[in-house]
Amino acid sequence: MRKTGIVKDKRYLKHTAGFSHPESPERLASVYEMLDNPACVRQYVCIEPRPASHDEIAYVHTPHYIDFVASTAGKSHVILDPDTMTGAETYKIAKLAAGGLLNAIDAVIAGEVDNAFALVRPPGHHAGAGNSAGFCVFNNIAIGAMHAHCRHGIKKTLVVDWDLHHGNGTQKMFYADRRVLYFSTHQYPHYPGTGSWQEVGEGMGLGFTVNVPLNRGAVNGTYVAAMQKILAPIALAYRPQLILVSAGYDIYYKDPLGSMRVTPEGFAAMTRVLLDIADQCCDGKIVAVLEGGYHAGGLALSVRSTLMEMSDETHMTCGQLSDMEEAADEANMRVLKKVISLQRPYWDVF
């Protein structure tokens, strides 16, 4: 069994984005209700969150933008962009979301836990250096990657983003930076419109952005194939010292915002592939942070499957992964072949 840490705090429920907004407190409340089961609580190590400091947020965000978000504190409703709104508590909770991930990273690197999942909100991967976007205020995972570098001396971090939507904010922040290898599977074309296979990085970061733009209807096996056939060879060549996961559950087959067909078993399978990569590269060091996922019941079930795999309570076998991969849809397998052909000049592993 692995020792898995979780960041869980009811203060995260205080961020409100407005009546009937998809990114509602109820989605995280459903996950917390699942975890409040006594059998679940005993399995995981609780990691207390803290607010990220101004300097830590400034690893990736401009001072002007941080000050702008800070100015919303205490105001009942501020529109940051057409999709992202703040409530009176949002600034404080957004700092707590980033800081919760930082404490999870610290705990994994210190060996206090083997891996960890920061179950926080608001999400982060769309936020840019100077802007909010797509329900995201501060880019939690980008702040986490820079924290690992600046605080712990991590030279190579793999960021895996399996959210329905492309993490355009994260990609842009590291597009020319080979300290971070960014890998994304996402429904395409879909919001935010970025993430085509031709987006492969620039300058010193050329080849260190890997996008897998999937057609709607991708099934469990499609995602397993993308990770086994594309991510695993590249990651094993890159040899990351830490793996961070933008864990979005809006690819769940009943999610109201997407058209993908992933089940809780699919999330367990993706988690197992990442654990296998981490075991070979970085002593199993994986830290996930919650991004999207807007079907409350499906979110709870899928997070549970992820955590059970992270803690080795379940352990998907190579045979199970292979069977799942064989059921991948043909249209998206053609996408995978195109991605491989575009990445071949940068990675001598195909």
Catalytic residue ranges: 126
Rounded distance between C-alpha atoms, residue 286 and residue 276, angstroms = 11
- Letter for the amino acid at 80? L
Listed in sequence order, the residues at least 6 apart from 296 whose beta carbon sits closer than 8 Å to its beta carbon are 26, 27, 29, 30
The secondary structure element, H or E, covering residue 247 is strand 242-247
Rounded distance between C-alpha atoms, residue 105 and residue 103, angstroms = 5
Rounded distance between C-alpha atoms, residue 333 and residue 226, angstroms = 8
284-308 burial, b at 16+ Cβ within 10 Å, e below that, comes to: bbbbbbbbbbbbbebbbbbbbbbbb
Count other Cβ atoms within 10 Å, centred on residue 169.
Answer: 26
The secondary structure element, H or E, covering residue 182 is strand 180-187
The secondary structure element, H or E, covering residue 40 is helix 38-41
Say whether the peptide bond before residue 22 is cis (omega within 30 degrees of 0).
no
Query: 84-86 and 78-81 as β-strands: parallel, antiparallel, unpaired?
Result: antiparallel
Radius of gyration of the chain (CA): 18
C-alpha torsion angle, residues 141, 145, 150, 151 (rounded to 10): 70
How big is the chain, counted in residues?
Answer: 350
Rounded distance between C-alpha atoms, residue 323 and residue 276, angstroms = 17
The secondary structure element, H or E, covering residue 288 is strand 286-290
Nearest to 161, CA basis, from 188, 140, 182: 182
Joined together, the tokens standing for residue 267 give 């999330």
- Letter for the amino acid at 163? D
